[in-house]
Structure 1
Amino acid sequence: MPVKVLVVDDSGFFRRRLVEIFSADPRLQVVGTANNGQEAVDKVQSLSPDVVTMDYEMPVLDGISAVANIMKLKPTPVLMFSSLTHEGARVTLDALEAGAVDFMPKNFEDISRDSAVVKHTLVDRVLTVARTRVGGQIKAAPVAKRREAPKPIVTDRGVIIPRARKKVSLVAIGTSTGGGPMALQAVLTKLPKGFPAPLVLVQHMPAAFTHAFAERLNNICQITVKEAVDGDKLQPGVALLAPGGKQMMVDPRNGGCVRILEGDERLNYKPSVDVTFGSASKCYPGKVLSIIMTGMGADGREGTRMLKASGSKVWVQSEDSCVIYGMPQAVEKAGLADDVLHLDHIGERIVKEVC
C-alpha cells in the first residue's frame, strides 16, 4: 500500500508543487492538503495520514502549535519545512521539540525546478519519515541493570591488583536528522557542571542551523556548548559542535584543539561523523568514548571502526529508543559496538564512565 501523505502549507504554489511531486511516485498517495495549522490538525484526525509535511509559518494556527496538537490528539510523523535563516533554525528546533521527526529547507527556487534530484530527495525523505516511530514517540527505558564492579586481578603470588580503568580524554558523539537534535539535548542535559572531559559533537545540519542549535543547548545544559571555530581548544566541560557545511577534525597540537575545514564535495555529509571520529582515533588512541545515536544513513561506521581499532570504546543508541535506527544499526551490524544503550541511560552512563 502507498504511504498516505497530508500536505500542509499556506502557499498555494508550494502546496501544488509538493502534490505534483508526491503524486508522480506510486509509493505515495496524497490524501489531502491544508492551508493552515488548525485545518491540518482536523485533517490528521479525519484522514489518518501516514506522514504530514508541515510549514511553520501559517495563519490560524502556526506549524509548531499544529505539531504539538497533532502529537497530543493523534501522533503522526511530521516532516517540517523551514527557511535557512537563524530564526528559521530556532523555529525548526521548537518544532522538533514539539514532536516533529525531521526537517528540510524550504526553498522555492529548488522546488520550482523540474529537478530529478530534488524530487528524489523529497520522496525519499517522506518515505523515511513515514517509517519512523509514531510521532517520534519512544518506548520508556527499561530499568537499568546495576553494573558489577570491575573484578580485581589476582596474580600467581596471591597479590590483588585493582583493575585500572582507561582514562577518557575525549567524548565524541555523532547523530543525524531523524531525532538527532532532541537526542543530543536529552544526553547533554544530564552532564554535570565540572564535567572532566572535553566533548566533540557532530550533528548533520545546514550551516544556518548549527549556531542556533549550539545556543539552545548552551542555554539548557550545565556544561558549555558552542559552535566550533577553527583553533578552538578542547577543554573539560566544553562541547564543540561541528559547524554545518564544514568538517571538524581533532588536532593534538596546542594541548588539543579542533580544525574547521571547508566541506569536501566528495563527502555526502558536511559535517561528517567519520571525519571527526577518524581524526580523534589518531589523536587520542584508546582514550575516546564514542557514541552513535539516532539518525539516517551510515555515517560514523568507518570512524568508529578506526576508534575501535585504536582501543577506544564505542556505544550505540538502542533501536527501541531511536526515531531512526540507521546510524546505530550500521555500527552494530558491523560488530563495532561495545554497548547498546537506551537514550534515557546514555547521559548517566557517560557520567559513570568519565567522572
Structure 2
Amino acid sequence: MTASTNEYPTRAYGATAPDSGVGPMQITRRGLRHDDVLIEISHCGICHSDLHSARNDWGFTTYPIVPGHEIVGTVSAVGESVTRHKVGDRVAIGCMVDSCLECAHCEAGYEQSCLDGGMTGTYNGKDRRDGSLTFGGYSERIVAREEFVLKVPEGMPMAEAAPLLCAGITSYSPLKTWKVGPGSKVAVAGLGGLGHMGVKLAAAMGAEVTVLSRSESKRADAEKLGAHAFLNTEDKAAMKARRGYFDMVLNTIPVRHDVTPYLHILKINGVQVLVGMIDMMPEMHTGVFLGRKVLTGSGIGGLAETQEMLDFCAEKGILPDIEVIAMQDVQTAYERMEASDIKYRFVIDMESLRENA
C-alpha cells in the first residue's frame, strides 16, 4: 500500500462515558501525512492506565476514548518523506505519538517531557497539527509520525514485545538512569506488571535483586523471575536487618502507601524510584532524608532509550510473562487486573477484532 490522503475507517474498542465499559466502536484514522506511517496492529498490551483512563479515574479523560499504548504491528503504508520505516517492517508504538522535537528536552532525548506543550499521548491526547483527539491501540490500525515508531528487534515475538512499550521502559529507564550494574543491590517493591519486568531487567544488568512484598505467596514467583532474595515487608526484624543495604528501591506499588520503610533500607546516597503510585503520598518525617536518601519518580523513557530497551531485551532474551486474550474479553481482563488475577500482563490479539467484525 502506498501513501494516501484518504482516511482509514477503523474498528476499535473504547469507552464513551465513565460507566460505559469498553466496547466496540468505529473510528477514523487520518490519511497519511508526508511523515506518517500506517501500522496494522497485531497486538496491544493492557496497562492499568487504560482502565483508569477509560473510567476517568484521574479526571481528565475526553470521550470517546480508545485506550492502548503498548502497540506492535506491521507497516502497511508510509508517507512520501518517510525514511525510517518501510512496508513490511515490524514496528512498535509506546505511550507517545508526537512532541515538538526541538526544545532542550526533546533534543536531549526526553521527548516524554517536551517543554512545548508536553508529549502527545498515544490516546486521550490532542494532535499537535489539527487538534483532533488521539486514539490508542485497541484498534486494527494506527497512523503515527515516523520518529515515534520504533523497531521490534528481529526474532522477538510480537505478543511479548507489546508490554515492553510501557511496563518494560518504565522499569528500564530508572535502572539505566541510576547506573544499575554488577555489584548493585536493587530491591523491587511489588511484583505485578512493572515489578516482574524490574526483576528481570535488573538481574540481566548484573544486579543482586531482592523482591519486597508483604505477600509470602510471592516468594516462589520472585525466585522463578530471577530474584536472588525475597524480603517480607511485614517482617519488622527482617526489614531492620536490611537497613542501609540497598542502592536502589524500584517501587512499583500502584496504590497509595507509606514509602518511609523503603527509605530506611537504602544506603547513604541510595535512591527510591516511584514508578507505580500516581497519587498523593502519605505524610512522612523529613528526618529520614538526613541519611542522604533520594526519593524520586520516573515515567517512561525517550525514543532512543525505548529502542535501546527493546534491543537490550532482545539481546538478553528478556520477555514479559503474558496472557493473550481476545479483544472481546477486555472488560473481563480489567476486572481480573483490579483483582491482581494476572501473571503478569494481558495482551490483546488484534486478529480477534478482525475475525469478529
User: Which category of TM-score, normalised to the shorter sequence, fits these structures?
Assistant: 0.3 to 0.5
Going by fraction, where is helix more abundant, 1 or 2? 1
Indicate the structure (1 or 2) with the bigger Cα radius of gyration. 1
Going by fraction, where is strand more abundant, 1 or 2? 2
When normalised by structure 1's length, the TM-score is: 0.33
Q: Which has the higher contact order (CA 8 A, sep 6+)?
A: 2
